[in-house]
Amino acid sequence: MSSTTATDAPAGTPTRSGAADPSPALAARYYTDPEVAGIEQRHIFARTWQLAGHESDLPVPGARLVATVAGREVLVVRTEDGSLAAHLNVCRHRGSRLVIAALPDPTKAPATSAHAIRCPYHGWTYRLDGALVGAPEGRAIPCLDRPSLGLYPARVESFLGFVFVNLDTGATPLHEQLADLPEPLRRYLGPELRPVGRHRIHADAEVQRANWKVVVDNYLEGYHVPVAHPGLMRLLDYQRYTVSTGGNFAYYEVPLRDKPSSNLRERAYQWLATPMPGLDPSDRRIWRYLALYPNTLIDFYPDHVLAWKIVPHEVDTASLPGAFYARPGAGPRTRLAQRLNIKIGWITNDEDAELVARVQRGVSTPGWAPGPLSRRELGVGWFADRVRADVDPHLTTAGDTTAGHTTADAPATGDGERDGPA
C-alpha cells in the first residue's frame, strides 16, 4: 500500500505496527451546503475517473452507452478498430443531444448508424472517433471547417474490463493511479466478465435520500454491522474485518464465519459458496470490498462481482447505478450461491438505505458536529481527507469546515442555553 495500512480493530485496542488513528470525519457543511456540492462537481467529479460501464456493454464496433459525469453526458463508443472513444454527447451544430441515455439495448447500435454518430436534429454526422464527416447542404454553411468541428473529446480507459471516463483530458491514466491495487482483486476482474440479471451501470438506478458522501461513508466502515446488519453479522467474522488505505482507494477483507447461520438462506449460501472460474480455493471463504476515490465501489464475492457508483443529484439525494458480473463457465452450485448472495445483498441494501436517510436528516440539525471516529472507521477518515483536500481551497463563504454548520447556523450559547443541537 502507498499509505496507511491498519487492522480494523475495535476502538481502544492496539493496531499492528505502522497503523494510524483515523482522521476526523467531515463536518456537517460538506453534506448540506449547496456551495460544497457545486465545488464537488467542478473539482472532484469533473477531474476524476468515473465508472461508465463494462467492456461487455460495448461488444461490437458502433456499440455505445451514455454516462453522466459532473452534469455532462459522455458518449462512449466502440470504434471500428475495436478501441474505445468518448465524446461529450452534444452536436457541434446547434447543441442537440446525440444519443438518448435510455436506449432499448445500448450494446447494439442502430443499424442505420452502426458506423457513425448522426445527429437526429439536422443530420450532422460524425465518425465513431468523433470527426465530423458530413453536414447536409454543407455548401450553404459559411465557414464550415470540418476538422475543427469534431465532437468534444473526453478521456476513456478500460481498467481490468471496466470502462471509466474522465472530463479532464490531462488526467493521469487510471492504471497508473491504481498501480498498487491489491493483487488478489485482479483475479476477479477482466473484460471476460458477463452481466448477471438486468441491471447495468449506465442505466437508471435506485435513488437514496442522502448526500452522496453519506452513502460512501456508510460503505467505508463495518462499525455499524453488529447493530444494523444482523444477516451480515451471522455470515461474516466481524473480529477479522480489516481495512487498508492507499492514495486512491480503500480496501477491505472479511472472512466468512465457519459457524452455520441460523437463517436458512444464509446457511445455504455458506454451504454452496464456491469460487468462480479463475479464482483460487483461498477465495472461497472471504469477501472483499474496494472503494475507488471518489465514488466507485466494487464488491468481490466468490460467486460474483458487484460494481456500482454513487452519483449526486440534489445536495441530499444520490442514485446508485450498478450491475452484477460473473465469469463464464460457473457450475450450477456457484450460480445458485450467486442467486442467494444477491438476495442477501438486496436485504443489506434496504437496511443501508434507511441508515443513510437517517444520517442525512441528522447532519442537517443546526449545531451538530461529528464525534471521534473508531479505528473501524479508518476508511471514513481517509475519504474525509481526500474530500477536504479537493473542496477546501475553493470555498468562498465563511463557515466551519471542522465541526459543524456555518457560524450562522449554530445555536446561541449563554445563560440557560445549551451547546449543540437543541
- Domain-by-domain residue ranges, the chain? 5-48+183-379, 50-166
Helix (H, G, I), strand (E, B) or coil at 225: helix
Total residue length of the chain = 422
The answer for 137, left when phi > 0, alpha when psi is -120 to 50, beta otherwise, is left
From first to last of the 422 residues of the chain, give the pLDDT tens digit.
Answer: 334 444 443 333 323 334 578 999 999 999 999 999 999 999 999 999 999 999 999 999 999 999 999 999 999 999 999 999 999 999 999 999 999 865 556 556 565 567 899 999 999 999 999 999 998 888 888 988 888 999 999 999 999 999 999 999 999 999 999 999 999 999 999 999 999 999 999 988 899 999 999 999 999 999 999 999 999 999 999 999 999 998 999 999 999 999 999 999 999 999 999 999 999 999 999 999 999 999 999 999 999 999 999 999 999 999 999 999 999 999 999 999 999 999 999 999 999 999 999 999 999 999 999 999 999 999 999 999 999 999 999 998 766 666 444 433 433 333 333 333 33
5-48+183-379 and 50-166, same CATH topology: no
* Nearest-angstrom CA–CA distance, 130 and 149: 9
Beta-carbon contacts of 249 under 8 Å, excluding residues fewer than 6 positions away, are 178, 181, 290, 291, 292, 293
Buried residues in 67-95 as b, exposed as e (16+ CB within 10 A): bbbbebbbbbbbbeeeebbbbbbbbbbee
Domain 5-48+183-379 is classified in which CATH homologous superfamily? Answer: Naphthalene 1,2-dioxygenase Alpha Subunit; Chain A, domain 1 (3.90.380.10)
Give the pLDDT confidence score for residue 396 in this predicted structure. 87
Q: In what order do the strands lie in the sheet with 72-78?
A: 50-54, 162-166, 153-159, 84-88, 72-78, 64-69
Look up the CATH architecture of domain 50-166.
3-layer Sandwich (2.102)
Give the pLDDT confidence score for residue 415 in this predicted structure. 37
Q: What nine digits make up the cell of 194?
A: 458477463
Predicted TM-score (pTM) of this structure: 0.89
Give the pLDDT confidence score for residue 114 in this predicted structure. 78
